[in-house]
Structure 1
């Protein structure tokens, strides 16, 4: 199903915007490459200068060749005799004396003629005469400069791009499912007759409704959601999903959107028996700008990820699997409910209350109205200014011909909830089989390396009559009423400090 607004840009306009963005990125890349080449050239020049300096230092520290030979013997051809030994004019030098003089002269001539050889001979003849100069250490090579991203951290990235008018979707792909979201602000009447100003997302099918449109995507398929904010910047955060940071919708790690932006993601496909893969389950999306206020004002909606169909796990007509190798359920009675409550004081606030350091009272949440939003997914009413409220549930009796009913739950309020299943007399009935939590299937992972079967297939179904969960938690459960008749779903809201029950809603469950 594709849902597009009437003012959706043409394909050519989108392509031109993408081409402009591509040219900007290429120009920025060229500037970065030029700067990097300059840094590398500077580093090479510094390394060459250092090498030459070391060579000059080595040359200065080495002794000259004429000073080395015969350092200890000092065979000087002009050696002066001592004054007391001055020979007389008639005295003849002895043979030994003449030989010594000849040897001395010869040594001098030899040293002058062959300085290098004489130096080596002298050094070997008298090793302790004069110490050789200390060898200078070879300098470590200068490493090549390391390439760095422009932003040193995600915080730097967000500080530079905190609020952007029209961010560009990087590496866009052709989507299998696309939706255009507009922001709306309307006074809506809820099922108890109370009227409040509500903010939410709308599309052509669910105009100005609450909660936001139900989105349903299959694993492995590319999904686009284009948001057109108004009344200040907004984002869409896909709670529980794991897209890249740019498409996660958290303003502090990506950007807040002023004009429009197309979020893109591709939920990971599941693999049978592998708990590390797969995204099938129940999620919800919400605004992540001034989050406590904007979610309370109604800026959220359900998101369902359906599994891929694996050949080893075929699907019965009229049924669907909760995850790739999960149990089958009846499509016709599949339902969702979301506990929600309203503090009327919050619905009189403005978009940015509390963001400038003032005390807007967002630490005091005192709800006076309590609601159960939702209903059967196949029968959500469309139209303008419709509030999707849960009034009754249907469930297939355990052991019957039809697959069990899947009940998806999203806690869309800030208080803890206790959910209880009872019979007409108020006695608790363990009819809820929990199969996943926050989009993660319950599996048996007790044997490392072995296939992780679902708890049901492992022989240990998680069946209960009561469960507790907090803000933003989600559970998927199969309902197994033991016999035909009327049962009840009771939801209690507890004070987040005292634990006292501050609100209760009860919905009938008709089992057939």
Structure 2
């Protein structure tokens, strides 16, 4: 697989986006109307830019970022969803490059392809592959946190990083890489650590290749001068969904996942269960397992249904030092020894931005995150992930709990450079099911999950918890940091690392 990537022919353009429709491990499948090329659905792809930009804090201050921005799945990212797609969806071009032709007026102008606007409307989540469009959309597009990624166990994942440069700091010729933190990546070449792999120069692209062997919550970041680039915003979340989600209840996890008519002739489909001491069987569904929107999901290959959930929320605990960011924007030396965060955020947003309800210039309340003006003059959220948790209670609804979304999986990771943080709940206990992408089981297979009202994490750690509102009365509850200085927006109190849990 690696040889195939390295042997690609040279191209006149430096940006190059790669997403194959088949590999030796995942061959072409039977074509359908929705997938006419027979692209294997187990091949997932995503494209991001390395750039700079701005994010607006909850007190209205704008913070300068180095960061990653989306170059595929734009509408998905805008909606707070993972931008990862199957190769069939990814290769539906977001736009069509301009065709060179003759203009009657001056004889040498570019004539736009007539499919340009239509292609954007049909495939708003397709990859941006044209070099001019990569620059146009990629500059000043940094998001905090970086675009969300989600893949399934057994997938092959092709992730393209295009380094468009930092417009606000033209003196910096910064390289960037992508490193999957804590992820069991077998190839050092794609690990993103520049000592053992490669870094991406400005105006260049690299497509990273990964296999998805272990379910869990991880995060990814740039590994060039990590203390600086993480503090400046080059960090995002990644999670791997378990194989158990795709197997019929009671079936063997080692059995086939894809129907026979969706396989290539002679293709073999079967993987070993990767979670330690997995039973190899999927649990029987709970009563009324089909919810209002989707079937019940699992966080890990648990074999007993103990990690079942209805809705998931990726939450990254992070902080910014405004002085450090200001120095990064104004060509001043950055003080690493004095780095001290003063903005504390959940997925890039501080309270009250974590619960929406922003007020626009006309005095109207606008739902969703604060928006920041981009390079094209349009205002977009730089922190699009949802941070208000919505659940449904079963109190007073006997027999209806099977149709209610009462269990939320919080995929929490701490990407703070300078602080340890304790995150707590009031009124709804946390069920801790996994730490650092490992299911809590002992060597005999016993379930070691536990209930608590707080978890403490440092930078580089992750914890998966489930909130169950089945017996919780409807109302407003809180997820917040117990570190008092983390409940502020720089010099303002009553902000920071806090959000609401709404139980309907």
TM-score by length of structure 2 reads: 0.55
User: Structure 1 CA distance, aligned partners of 2:464 and 2:218?
Assistant: 10
Instruction: State whether residues 47 and 160 of structure 2, in contact with CA within 8 Å, keep that contact through their aligned partners in structure 1.
Output: yes
SS of the aligned residue for 1:196 comes to: strand
Residue 504 to residue 324, structure 1, CA distance change in 2 (3 Å) = same
Given the alignment, which residue of 392, 409, 420 partners 1:406?
409
Structure 2 counterparts to residues 465-504 of structure 1, below 5 A: 465-481=453-469, 482-484=471-473, 485-493=475-483
C-alpha root-mean-square deviation of aligned residues, in Å? Answer: 3.8
TM-score by length of structure 1 reads: 0.55
Given the alignment, which residue of 275, 282, 285 partners 1:313?
282
Given the alignment, which residue of 207, 229, 250 partners 2:163?
229
Given the alignment, which residue of 183, 198, 206 partners 1:241?
183
Instruction: State whether residues 172 and 264 of structure 1, in contact with CA within 8 Å, keep that contact through their aligned partners in structure 2.
Output: no
Residue 407 to residue 17, structure 1, CA distance change in 2 (3 Å) = closer
Instruction: State whether residues 343 and 496 of structure 2, in contact with CA within 8 Å, keep that contact through their aligned partners in structure 1.
Output: no
Which runs of 5 or more residues in structure 1 are unaligned? 1-13, 22-163, 269-278, 424-428, 456-460, 497-501
Question: Is it true that 1:435 corresponds to 2:407 in the alignment?
Answer: no
Question: Is it true that 1:329 corresponds to 2:308 in the alignment?
Answer: yes
Residue 172 to residue 362, structure 1, CA distance change in 2 (3 Å) = farther
Count of aligned pairs: 317
Residue 15 to residue 298, structure 1, CA distance change in 2 (3 Å) = same
Structure 2 counterparts to residues 7-26 of structure 1, below 5 A: 18=7
Pairwise CA distance, 1:489: 1.2
Given the alignment, which residue of 246, 263, 279 partners 2:208?
263
Residue 337 to residue 16, structure 1, CA distance change in 2 (3 Å) = closer
Structure 2 counterparts to residues 105-504 of structure 1, below 5 A: 176-203=43-70, 204=72, 205=74, 206=77, 208=141, 209-231=143-165, 232-243=174-185, 244-258=187-201, 259-268=204-213, 279-309=214-244, 310=247, 311=251, 312-313=281-282, 316-317=289-290, 318=294, 319-325=296-302, 327-331=306-310, 333-350=311-328, 360-373=334-347, 384-388=380-384, 391-397=387-393, 400-401=401-402, 402=404, 404-414=407-417, 415-423=419-427, 431-445=429-443, 447=444, 452-455=445-448, 461-481=449-469, 482-484=471-473, 485-493=475-483
Instruction: State whether residues 221 and 267 of structure 1, in contact with CA within 8 Å, keep that contact through their aligned partners in structure 2.
Output: yes
SS of the aligned residue for 2:300 comes to: coil
Pairwise CA distance, 1:368: 1.9
| Higher Rg | 1
SS of the aligned residue for 1:262 comes to: strand
Pairwise CA distance, 1:245: 0.9
Q: Deviations over 1:119-172 (max 9, x none)?
A: xxxxxxxxxxxxxxxxxxxxxxxxxxxxxxxxxxxxxxxxxxxxx999x99x98
SS of the aligned residue for 2:243 comes to: coil
Which runs of 5 or more residues in structure 2 are unaligned? 27-41, 78-136, 166-173, 252-280, 349-353, 356-366, 372-378, 396-400, 487-492
Greater fraction helix: 1
Residue 392 to residue 16, structure 1, CA distance change in 2 (3 Å) = closer
> Which structure exhibits the higher relative contact order, with contacts defined as CA atoms closer than 8 Å and separated by 6 or more residues?
2
Pairwise CA distance, 1:386: 3.0
Pairwise CA distance, 1:336: 2.0
Partner of 2:83: none
Question: Is it true that 1:511 corresponds to 2:446 in the alignment?
Answer: no
Residue 251 to residue 16, structure 1, CA distance change in 2 (3 Å) = closer
User: Structure 2 CA distance, aligned partners of 1:15 and 1:467?
Assistant: 44
Pairwise CA distance, 1:384: 3.9
Instruction: State whether residues 309 and 409 of structure 2, in contact with CA within 8 Å, keep that contact through their aligned partners in structure 1.
Output: yes
Instruction: State whether residues 417 and 494 of structure 1, in contact with CA within 8 Å, keep that contact through their aligned partners in structure 2.
Output: no
Pairwise CA distance, 1:508: 2.0
User: Structure 1 CA distance, aligned partners of 2:162 and 2:8?
Assistant: 21
Instruction: State whether residues 298 and 309 of structure 2, in contact with CA within 8 Å, keep that contact through their aligned partners in structure 1.
Output: no
Pairwise CA distance, 1:184: 2.4
User: Structure 1 CA distance, aligned partners of 2:45 and 2:62?
Assistant: 32
Instruction: State whether residues 307 and 433 of structure 2, in contact with CA within 8 Å, keep that contact through their aligned partners in structure 1.
Output: no
Instruction: State whether residues 211 and 298 of structure 1, in contact with CA within 8 Å, keep that contact through their aligned partners in structure 2.
Output: yes
Pairwise CA distance, 1:328: 4.6
Instruction: State whether residues 165 and 257 of structure 1, in contact with CA within 8 Å, keep that contact through their aligned partners in structure 2.
Output: no
Pairwise CA distance, 1:486: 2.5
User: Deviating runs (4+, > 6 A) in structure 1?
Assistant: 14-17, 171-175, 379-383
Residue 285 to residue 494, structure 1, CA distance change in 2 (3 Å) = farther
